[in-house]
Structure 1
């Protein structure tokens, strides 16, 4: 139960602070939001009064005074198939670590909307998009038309002059493939990701580049299409194990599929990495605890989303031009699932 004093403190408003400070409530609001138009000595005095009165910010009241919603939308292409729980967790953690108490964060899937009319300046001060496919461009264009500050993460949006923050998936896949080649593997298969996800396209490009530079052939029957889920890794690996000339290594385009593939290998009476090597992508929390520990590419999603959150705040507050592409490098994590031959 809250004490009477605590209940009183919860009801303190900017008008109460204004009355004690002898200034207008608009001046109080601007002081508490670091507006440069308020004199430093006035701002300091107001902040001290607010602290003494145990003032708790009210986003609804602030929005009425400053014509802001104090809401940032965090939109994913989808919250359904293709967005793993670990990816989602890292993205939300990264954004929240920067936004903190400054704004409220609303999390949605773009595919939940049939009508984008509710996406407007009245409801959102800014929007972060964790984009995985080109179909999101319709939503992104709507946001731009409504002049809402936006940062698109995880995918480069060609032809749209906005801020993009993304992991260099192509380079990460290139490094993973080079590692397999250096380990002596030539018969390398892939289990790709969802066809319409740009991350899958970029990883395939990185794979092809490494194979081409090493003058190694890409075998068509080794190129299988997964969907980033455990089951697709499991069943696609089963297909590969039926090949008369089996691959010696399989590059799965995410860790979930790699874990499914490892299970398929063991169920079929083979061993990883003795009979077949497996490498993943993402470096999810499970990858280091599976047996054998999974060699994978660390994709710094949390860091990417921290960078995106910093930039959306800068754009909202007028400290950023709102254009540019910023890459964050992936990093190969060598563990136990690849054998040197």
Structure 2
């Protein structure tokens, strides 16, 4: 089993510096990189219990998610865990599907050193309390009530990207399927979408806008309603993955041809896009990058590594990517 002395031989650093790093204290960035590389090469496993007793840290962070049953949340877990593993930090995951469970309190009782959260409305007060004890980094949902660090998709720009694509292809009868406006991601994607349409002189008709829970059924029923209209839209944007999946099911059931009889822009689901004929055009968020940056930001709050962080919250917005397919017909040829 590798020891501090083995890492010392690999790096040439003093035992004091190596011990300082593994006890959660600040070291030079070059030293941190060297220690982590040596630890990985030697398969070094620090004694977490002993380290925790010395540093008064548990070496764990908590991840709070609304649910554990969709690709976005599972990718967040995988990205956070991968980013923190080399620093010897473990991850405890807890779902908070409703306000019935004290999910944040449970994590705090496990002595986590910090929390990364995809919050729901019922988590706000608990997270506000947690912020008095540990650093908190938010992902996905911009909760204005929480004055803390966050890594988010630029949701308004993502919605505008979808609108611009449809407009550029000559569509004017355009529909939107989105979640509740109370969810910041849905509110921002929808506002970016409708504002870009308005800039082009296209108003989103009320009958062409459907909102509901972020589940497959909402996407299915909304699209079925649009397709049954006498003057149906020529193109539709679905603002999240579950809505997109429901839309594809409804289009398949209708017998209409994707990209010919009806155009569709989905959200996320690059793997799903490869299974449709023609390939679905999607707006994809950089989920792995969001998870990695959130984990890195939390680690820096904990150990002070890297360039100094301001005391004020660090908030970053990452751009979405258009992944083109063949599901949008060009009407202006």
Report the Cα distance in structure 2 between the residues aligned to 1:72 and 1:116, rounded to whole angstroms. 11
Residue 164 in 1 paired to residue 150 in 2?
Answer: yes
| Whole-Å separation in 1 of the counterparts to 2:3 and 2:176 | 60
- 5+ long unaligned stretches in structure 2: 8-14, 28-33
| Equivalent in the alignment of 2:54 | 65
Task: Find the counterpart in structure 1 of residue 135 from structure 2.
Answer: 149
TM-score of the aligned structures, taking structure 2 as reference length: 0.82
What is the CA distance between 1:227 and its match in structure 2?
Answer: 2.7
Query: Residues 35-78 of structure 1, C-alpha deviation per residue, up to 9 Å, x if partnerless?
Result: 569xxxxxx9xxx9x99x986322122111211111100111x1
What is the CA-CA distance between 1:209 and the residue it aligns to?
Answer: 0.6
C-alpha change, 1:242 and 1:31, in structure 2 (3 Å) is: closer
The aligned residue for residue 337 of structure 1 is 327
TM-score (normalizing by structure 1): 0.80
Question: Does the residue aligned with 2:297 lie in a helix, a strand or coil?
Answer: helix
TM-align CA RMSD: 3.3
Once the two structures are TM-superposed, the CA of residue 32 in structure 1 deviates from its matched residue by: 4.2
> Is the 2:94–2:103 contact (alpha carbons within 8 Å) kept by the matching residues of 1?
no
What is the aligned counterpart of 2:73 among 48, 63, 88? 88
- Does 1:224 pair with 2:210? yes
Separation (CA, whole Å) in 1 of partners of 2:94 and 2:24: 30
How much does 1:104 deviate? 0.7
SS in 2 for 1:280: strand
- Structure 1 counterpart of 2:315: 325
Q: Tell me, what secondary structure is at the counterpart of 2:143?
A: coil
Q: Residue 128 of structure 1 aligns with which residue?
A: 116
Q: How does 1:141-220 map to 2 (within 5 A)?
A: 141-145=128-132, 147-220=133-206
Q: Is the 8 A contact 2:23 2:55 kept in 1?
A: no
User: 2: distance between equivalents of 1:31 and 1:151?
Assistant: 22
Question: Once the two structures are superposed, what CA deviation does each residue of 1:233-260 show, in whole Å capped at 9, x if it has no partner?
Answer: 1221111111121010111112332232
Cα distance, 1:117 vs. partner?
Answer: 4.0
- How many residues are treated as equivalent by the alignment? 311
Deviates more, 1:204-213 or 1:316-325: 316-325
1:85 Cα offset (Å): 2.2
Whole-Å separation in 1 of the counterparts to 2:159 and 2:43: 52
- The answer to whether 1:263 aligns with 2:253 is no
1:117 to 1:86, Cα distance in 2 relative to 1, 3 A = closer
2:174·2:234 contact (CA, 8 Å) conserved in 1?
yes
CA deviation profile, 1:251-310 (whole Å, cap 9, x unmatched) = 111233223222222322211111110111124421222222111111011101111111
How far apart are the structure 1 equivalents of 2:80 and 2:67? 16
